[in-house]
Chains A and B, each alone.
Chain A
């Protein structure tokens, strides 16, 4: 079991704060009166609602269908009546509402008919569609539809399958606890992944600060009928990032702008494998997940939570305390502040972190950058954060891009170590969103130009056609005048029709050529990222245009 491990550059080791929540057993959170289920919980197109207000739905019933290849279905997490379909506040940093289906639960928690799937007997493509319809998406945080990741494709065999149990973010323990208590089921999910991907090497990477989880997974791996190597990796943030986990376990780097499958590796979170096992062996769609509720609460712990449960019920359950200063979804390094505690738990909710001034003192005011390059030493993407900051602050986005801005994974290591306390990641998000906005504008301008050119072309053509028509008419007239019999007109009419048909065909061909360039056809993950960030843009733009706080002039 001595595998050669590699190191990723940079990284930090903030206080772990895992012990607060990882020792208590998993409790199932009680059924809430109301479930709010967003249609967009994954990367890709939002699900399309399949129910109407007033419908009774059963637990596990699909209420939103996957829309397109990169999408996933959403399901009723319990039985009840659909009370609303429309915008509601969702866990997003912007606080902007998004389409949701609200269910008033009836307390009966009545399941829809469901049965295990005999996955070995199914066509892989059919199985993937089933998994998509069961709402499976990555539970590590990115919520990428699992069915897409389980498609090895013709060009990308995936000899190596990595199960990511890194969980490097401080405070979060849902994967740790899941591995301790459900190691067998996780590996059953891995068996399905292996079946679909045809992987020959299965690695489980777990940070060495989780000895119980490692032991449980190793014991479970012994029982499987294929080889699984459970590897303890050094605990160092962001070691649970997919790229970092790949590098530590295999020594390989994912080329910039490419996917891990391009180098024959696919990575899944342990929670996703568990959800996959529930789906295949029990026929249960993804309607619940483990959520760590920790920080400034009386009893930090992990709950099994139905998707759609309002966050405040969990905080109450864990024992809310005075002096709460805010709530994050996710960890302190990459989590996002919740605008409202009515927001539901979604597939991406791994942790609800309650803040207080003691645990999370307000960040000190920023001083100017002194170019100490501690950020560069800490950057796992091996960037020069101090230069990116300089370019972003100056609005020199072209240079920022040249310095590989888009290789930034926004892990926050640079901000964490900055002795000047500059919110560096914020500047990168701002620069990225500005670049996206500009590209969007450029695309819109290109489209407008194309439309204009097409209009010019159409006007020209219409003019020409009119002239032809007139000529044809005149010719017909002339033919008529030439005292031909009445039947002579018919072929002329046909010629005219043919002319028009040809013109229409031309127009359609032209239109077809233009249509795919529409801005609506951005890759879905890009689209989602754009939307996520645009909400912050105005705020951050202000920040960048102002001097740093401490640079502000005295009143």
Chain B
């Protein structure tokens, strides 16, 4: 075995473990403000992802242990679970997770080979195929008269016999949905914002969730588990695009802070767009990648057919990665003139 003969103590497992740890504040706040239903979703997605991962590794003839222990499947599962409505039916969770692990990850060649972020592929498949079920969000407890217990949440998710009235009492439109619907009803943003779902910056509860994701993301940032470029550029893209529109027509476009403090933006900027496998690798490329994803998020939210645009924005930027990387190769030590490799 040739040099070097020593290694830093880092490992893929360690990287993934930090990502999972950094998601914990978000999960805690989620449970605190929206009820324990998310735990059922997370558990189901985790079990499904690990089973799918093991099965695919076996089918492809790979050793299961090192790849299951790398925790990457669990990261995918958690990111998808946190993107799904908290009371989504079990089969939706299973379908999305299976698609993420089997198709987006393993059929593209497994760890390190996937072009698209697996969790976002899973999400995209679900929102395109099952738009109705993808709206089953539990509202913030603050606005809910009779919040669901863990057992009740599980019962909802697994299709148990839950009275429709109970369900209707807890589910409600997300702030982004509310904004969208309101705008379609020709209301101005100011009028829409009087709705009880809206809080200081984003939605009631949602803004705190976004804050928790931001906190976890900043930990990853400080530990250099993620690059600084992608989240910063992503947030800048969202803020500038939203701010630009809001500046010209505050009545028709939501405020930039409102867009930033939707949890999906923070989750996307710090946890999903920073996925190294499907993201750009060069410093400038990361800036372009993040900024593009932020910009597209606002464009899709504003003019697209879906209430949120983070998933599609990231997938579209995933598509551009080879091109971005090729044209943003940095200058190397001692290079005298810039000659981009063709």
Contacts and interface: CB of A to CB of B under 8 A. Distances in A.
Contacts of A550: 62-63, 66-67
B161 interface: no
A547 to B, nearest CB: 9
Which 3 A-B residue pairs are closest in the complex by CB-CB distance? A412-B4, A368-B112, A256-B334
Nearest to A421: B7
Interface of B: 1-8, 10-12, 14-15, 61-63, 66-67, 70, 72, 110-113, 224, 227, 276-277, 279, 281-282, 325, 329-336, 341-342
A239 to B, nearest CB: 14
Contacts of A370: 12, 15, 72, 111-112, 276-277
A159 interface: no
A332 B2 contact: no
Interface stretch (A185-193, A276-284, A357-365, A520-528): A357-365
Interface string A363-406: 11101111111101100111110110000000000010011100
Contacts of A374: 10
Nearest to B279: A371
Contacts of B72: 370
A382 B341 contact: no
B266 to A, nearest CB: 21
Contacts of A373: 227, 276, 281
A387 B326 CA distance: 10
A328 B5 contact: yes
A382 B332 contact: yes
Interface string A444-460: 00000000000000000
Nearest to B70: A367
Interface string A411-432: 0100111111101011001000
Given A365-B66, A368-B111, A372-B276, A407 B10 contact: no
Interface in A1-44: 8-9, 12, 14-15
B7 A334 contact: no
A412 B62 CA distance: 28
A472 interface: no
Contacts of B342: 402
A255 interface: yes
A132 interface: no
Contacts of A387: 281, 325
Interface in A337-363: 337, 355, 360, 363
B4 A416 contact: yes
A335 B336 contact: no
Contacts of A334: 3-4
A253 interface: yes
15 contacts: A8-B333, A12-B8, A253-B333, A255-B335, A256-B336, A257-B334, A363-B7, A370-B12, A371-B281, A373-B227, A381-B333, A384-B282, A415-B4, A416-B8, A551-B62
Contact of B66 (A367, A419, A553): A367
B11 A419 contact: yes
Contact of B335 (A12, A377, A404, A415): A404
B140 to A, nearest CB: 36
B15 A419 contact: yes
A421 B11 contact: yes
Given A334-B4, A367-B12, A384-B281, 17 more contacts: A256-B333, A328-B5, A332-B5, A360-B5, A367-B112, A368-B113, A371-B277, A376-B282, A381-B332, A383-B333, A387-B281, A403-B341, A404-B335, A425-B2, A429-B2, A550-B63, A550-B67
Nearest to B1: A363
A63 to B, nearest CB: 32
B97 to A, nearest CB: 20
A243 B334 CA distance: 9
A482 B271 CA distance: 107
A444 to B, nearest CB: 28
A544 interface: no
A403 B330 CA distance: 10
A333 interface: yes
A553 B4 CA distance: 27
Given A387-B325, A407-B334, A550-B63, A536 B2 contact: yes
A170 interface: yes
A425 B227 CA distance: 23
B341 to A, nearest CB: 4
Nearest to A419: B10
A12 B9 CA distance: 12
B111 to A, nearest CB: 5
A85 interface: no
A interface bracket (residues with beta carbon within 8 Å of B): 35 or more
B210 to A, nearest CB: 26
Interface string A502-516: 000000000000000
A225 B160 CA distance: 93
A332 B4 contact: yes
A363 B5 CA distance: 7
A461 to B, nearest CB: 45
Contact of A382 (B1, B66, B330): B330
Contact of B7 (A381, A383, A386, A415): A415
A437 interface: no
A364 B333 contact: no
Contacts of B336: 255-256
A383 B1 CA distance: 24
A425 B276 contact: no
B2 to A, nearest CB: 5
A216 interface: no
Contact of A256 (B3, B11, B112, B332): B332
Interface in A243-298: 243, 253-258
A383 B332 contact: yes
A112 interface: no
Contacts of A377: 224
A336 interface: yes
Contacts of A423: 1-2
B327 to A, nearest CB: 13
A93 interface: yes
Given A256-B332, A403-B341, A371 B276 contact: yes
A159 to B, nearest CB: 20
A384 B328 CA distance: 11
Interface string A39-75: 0000000000000000000000000000000000000
A369 B112 contact: yes
Contacts of B63: 550, 552, 554
Output the residue of B10, B14, B336, B342 with the most chain A CB within 10 A: B10
A125 to B, nearest CB: 31
A423 B5 CA distance: 10
Contacts of B2: 93, 336-337, 423, 425-426, 429, 536
Nearest to B61: A553
A537 to B, nearest CB: 12
Contacts of A386: 281
Contacts of B331: 382
Contacts of B227: 373
Nearest to A371: B276
B3 A335 contact: yes
Nearest to B110: A368
A373 B321 CA distance: 14
A364 B332 CA distance: 30
A337 B62 CA distance: 31
A170 B6 contact: yes
B132 to A, nearest CB: 36
Nearest to A377: B224
Nearest to B60: A553
